[in-house]
Each structure stands twice: as structure tokens, then as C-alpha cells.
Structure 1
């Protein structure tokens, strides 16, 4: 979505300047705490506690010298070429920006009101909510017993009114990945009947994300779109930017409608994202560090005998055995903020994986909340 520096907070740049990371140990020791001056630990928005690539801060410093200038179409085109090379797709299959809302508006306006948008529930609803503004009808399909997208149920619900299918993989809030071959098969079949949007915001936390990614089908020309964001594993939530990969004709239409606006993308956002994408070593470091902390969390959950999902993302999701608000309220009183409730999982809690110190504080708060 369009951003500007005044709205997103120039003061965050000071935090970025501390991120000179060289390995797992420095990731842990130099991570900027995701907490305000009050001292609270915020583990509710799935931010990357370990920060961006060390290449980002110099890129931002260089871009600051032109802070009085709008980002240009040339800058956007250069970054598009970089993304296309990274994803092994044609540049005309790439549109920049966090466009899920705009995509929902476009798909809902095509064919008039009443189009149906299938999605897994509970989930992230930016696209669904946007479609509803122009008469789109959200069709929620519950997750399966494992907490993954229920592919057979979704396939059964696709019909003549289906305008699009929106899936998150791994899913949020459960963190569960669909089995790779079954997911690819579903995408091939479903995309012959309606566009399928796959939100892969957390997929890069998986070691085999490249083989799992739905980008494979984009390269084949299927009616599939893949959304990625730099807000998560790349650690750029303070300078939000993403991109979508999809069919050439649809990408061209979206650009004609103004969904990719260079000025709105922001000069600093483009500079930061370009530097992040150019670092081949940072993501593996973050991934391995988060995986180790996630396993520590799983050990605590096993020790507490709490049912939890096999999350492949940077958060854990577990059944606390009592109302969510009771557990979250107790933890908040202890200075730890966790995610909102996700009905109908009324006793389940999602906690973002933070630094070891933050996780230890959250684990202690959880134990006290359940005592």
C-alpha cells in the first residue's frame, strides 16, 4: 500500500542503524526489542525481532540525501527487474506494492456485485474486506483439523459465482503449511475455474520455500498470483513494501489502474527492499535463529501439555485451555502483549517469536497466567 515517511515514522530509522548483523550470535545480541518506552514486550504482530540485512542501513543513508525527491518510475522499474530475476519470472509478471486491498477491489468490480471470494477462516482479510466494499461476498471455509487450508472443502465450494480464491500458506494464525504436492495440484485445478491468490508472507521461514512456492505455477502461466512482503522475514515492517507475481495480462491491468505508483511506494522503501533482496545470507540466518527459538517454544508448550500446531512461521499457536482474553489479559498485566483472538479458536493464543530474552519473558508470563 502507498506509504510516506511522515506516516510511517522517521524515528524508526534510528533503530535500523543498529542492525549490523554478521551471524546468528549477532542476530540475537543486536536485535532491537519490539517494545515501546513503557518496557512492554510486543509479540503480537509477527514482526521480525532480528531486524533487516546489514546492507539496508547504508542503503537508507544513501537514499536520505534525496529525501526531498519522489521515487521515480525508473527506480520502480529497476527494482522490478531485480525482483523478476530473484523470482525467475518476466518483469511484466511483477507488480510492486502491498496491493492485496487494491486487488480485492479490482476483482470485485469485474463482473459486478455478488462475486464470491473464498478464503480460509480464521485468517487475514485485507483482500476479502476490500472486495466487500464493491459488493463482493466473502465465503469462509474453515481450516481442516490440522489447522491447514482445507483443500477438498475449498475445491467443492468453487462455483460459477467464484471471483477468486485467497489462501495463506503457511496459514496465519496457525502457521501450518499445506502438503506441497497436494497444494500444487489444488492450485492447478482451482485456477482453471477462478484466479487463486496465494499469500506467502511467511513461506520464506521454511527451508524448502522455493520448491513449495506457488511461483512455479506463475511461471507456467497459470491463473495464480503470489504475494510476498518485506515486512516479515526481511525485517522491514517500518518501511512496508511487497510485490505480487501473476499473469501478464492481469498485472498489466492492475498497473493501468494505478496499483503500482512509484511515488506512493516511497524512495526509502524501495532502497531498503532492494538492499534486502540483494543479501543472500541474511534470510538463512534469520530463518535458522527463528527455528531454534520456535523449537524452544515448542518445548515449553510440550512441558505445559498444551496442544499446538506445527508452525512453520515466526509465531506459535496453541490451545491454552481457557479463554483467550483471560490468558492474554494476564500476560499483558505482566508486560507481554500477544495477538488478538481468532474465533472460533476461542481458547487459542498466537505469540510472535521474539529474541531469546523476549521469549523467556513471554514464557514466564504464560506459565504464571496458567498457574
Structure 2
């Protein structure tokens, strides 16, 4: 039987879209997405507003860009959330690994931040994201990122919000309820951007994902080959024929779907399927990295981060969602991440002037976090500030 790329086939059939590009966070799934469309984003359908300040450890990950106001044409800063995260240390936020990769990519277009508050597009405050970390284990997983958990580190400590505690799940938690909280898609109109909360049931911690979702291969096949998903099979079929050995029959639709059905499995101990139970809300696109939580002992406790979901002809997302959970290796990684110390100390991205020298710390898209010092006198200039407030070399007298 020809070798099939399970990740590519899975993405094409499931309609999973990349959170690495901002439009994919708010737009409907696109037929024929390519292999760069690597992961689905998550949020809440059927939930309720989560306005309480007590939930402010849960915030948005976004990019701040300079853009023109649609009405006035005046330039200003716009905040565009693309994922969610949860504060687990004073300057450390837990999110999905594919959100970490997204942050690295969108940093070229603006300053990437952690946003505090109910409205992700109008955060109460933002703190620059300056360093990234990816949990160990990069193979397999529902969206192809392995153990889909990661962290981002902040330019300054948040001292007035209590970080969430962390814990692993056990089989004793199956069939119990948790809260899912996120900023993404809330309906079939793709409304998103405000913090929503809903209850979900922990369904499974191991097994074939599509079997758990659909109950049988026949039901899965019907979903995969009807409506607006049927066209998604053209490309993997063509690739299967190209990859087939000479004289060997090419893998047909049933073969492709069977491989996907059998090979898409939860990472035991590091993924869980939640939702799709009676009264459950539905995580969806637009807020990957959002937490699976409960209040225990008066403190917010996080058990996993949203990783992926599928869509149907009835809902923007349906049949529950896969969460990356905090198995032993991920939990150890995350706990170590909470002890992160900023190599730049008190030096910020905007920087300060020290006589003729501009001292600043590098931003996320400038490589490893470090302090830089530019002697403006070498250019016949002095240290000053540009139009954004950042340090710069300027002509004397300006």
C-alpha cells in the first residue's frame, strides 16, 4: 500500500486551518488548504460571557499593528488576537505549541502581546511577548505538533493577577465536567474576540480520535465525503497515485479514509477528547491554547490547552475538541518555564538613552533575547526617540 502523509491527509479532510496567519483565525475553513495550514484554533460555541476579573489569568495572544481607521483614515494601533493563553507564572503564559509557532511568524508584522481583559480586540492592557518555548515531544498528535503545549514569556511581570496552578488528568476524571474558556468563534457567523466560558465533559484520554467522535468508520466516511469536504479528497488521491509503486493499485478513497481513521489517535497521557456530551459547549476556531480548567481550593487550576477540532455542515466546529494535556514531561517543562528570568533585566524593547548610547532589548523577531547598545556618536548623532517612543539615533537638536 502506498505511503500516505497522515498529517497532510488529516488536515485536508478535517479542514484544519493555520493559526499562524491571522485571517485563518476568523475566516471559515478553506477548501484545498496546503500542508502549511498546520493547526486549528479553538474557542467556545454555546458558552456564556466570562467577564469576571477573577478569570484575568486567562488572556489573549495577539499582534498589535498600525492600521488606518476605517471611518477616519487616521493611523492607530489595532489589537488582533490569534490565540489564547493562561498565566502560570508572573511572566510566563501557557498556550498551545502551534500558537508559539504562530507568534514567531506574526512577530514580523507587529508587536506580539499577551492581552488582559474580557475583550481580546480591546484589551485592558497588553504586555509584550519576548521569548518562546515549546514542550518536548514533536511527533504525532491530532494536529501534527506532538505534545501541543508551549509557553510565551513576557517583557514584564504581572503581579496583580494570581497565576493558575497546573495539574495532570487521570482516568478518574473521565465523564466529569470542566470549564473551557476562550476568545474565538462563538457562532456560525464567525463572531469572535471576547472571552467565553462553557462546560465540557472529559470523554477520553486514549483511542482513535475519529472513532471516538463518530462511533464507526461508516459514520466518519459519511462526514468526510459529503457536503463541502468531498473536494478535499482530490489532492491526497492524486498524491497517493503518484506515490504508488509501479504495478501496485493506488490507494482509493476508502483506503485513504481508513488510514486516517485508524492512525489518528490521541497521544496517550498527553491528549484528551472533550465535549460533544449533553449540555456541552463546543470549542472552535480562533482561540487555540485556551485552557481546560476548574476552580479547586479557591484557585484556578489548568489541565490542558485547546489543540484541534473539526467542522461539519451544521456548525463551524462540532463533535468536541482535542486538548493537549499536562502529562509528566509537559508538566515538568511548564513548571520549569515559570522560573524563567529575563536576560535583559529591566531593559525594555523601547530602550533608554545613556548619553550618546541607545540601550535596548531585542524584540521577538530579532533572535535570542539580549541587550544591545548602539553608540550614536559614531554616526555623528545623539541618542533620542523616534515617533513610536523607541530609542533611536537622531540628529543633534532634534
TM-score range (shorter-chain normalised) is: under 0.3
Structure number with larger C-alpha Rg: 2
| Structure with more relative contact order (C-alpha pairs < 8 Å, separation 6 or more) | 1
User: Which protein is richer in strand relative to its size?
Assistant: 2
TM-score between both structures, scaled by the size of structure 1: 0.26
User: Which protein is richer in helix relative to its size?
Assistant: 1
